[in-house]
Chains A and B, each alone.
Chain A
Amino acid sequence: MTTGTHGEERRMATGTDGTRYDRWLLRTMNDARTKRFHASRGARHRIVAAHVGTTALGLTGMVGCFASAALWPVASLLVALLVWVPLTGLLNSMTRGLLELRVRFLDERQVAERGTAHLWAYRINSWLLTAALLGFYVLWVAGTSMADLAGPLAATGLVAYAVHRLLPLWIAALRVRDEPQDDEEEWPAPVSA
Chain B
Amino acid sequence: MSEHVHNRLAVVRAERKVSRAALAEAVGAHYQTIGYIERGQYNPSLDLALRIAAYFRLPVEALFSLEPFRPLTDEVYGTGSGRDGADATAHTGRSTG
Contacts and interface: CB of A to CB of B under 8 A. Distances in A.
Given A1-B47, A183-B19, A191-B16, A9 B55 contact: no
A10 B25 CA distance: 7
Given A6-B51, A193-B55, A107 B19 contact: no
A67 B94 CA distance: 67
A13 B24 contact: yes
A102 interface: no
The binding surface of chain B is classed by DSSP as: helix
B17 A187 contact: yes
A108 B43 CA distance: 10
B87 to A, nearest CB: 27
Contacts of B20: 180, 183-184
A109 B26 CA distance: 16
Given A4-B28, A13-B28, A191 B44 contact: no
B75 interface: no
Contacts, number: 82
Interface residues of A, number: 28
Interface in A1-36: 1-4, 6, 8-14
- Interface footprint category on B: 20 to 34
Interface in A147-193: 177, 179-180, 183-184, 186-187, 190-191, 193
Given A180-B38, A180-B39, A190-B19, A109 B28 contact: no
Given A108-B44, A108-B48, A193-B55, A9 B16 contact: no
B76 interface: no
A152 to B, nearest CB: 43
Contacts of A96: 30, 32
Interface string B39-83: 101101111100100011100000000000000000000000000
Interface of A: 1-4, 6, 8-14, 96, 106-110, 177, 179-180, 183-184, 186-187, 190-191, 193
6 contacts: A106-B30, A108-B45, A110-B30, A180-B20, A190-B18, A190-B19
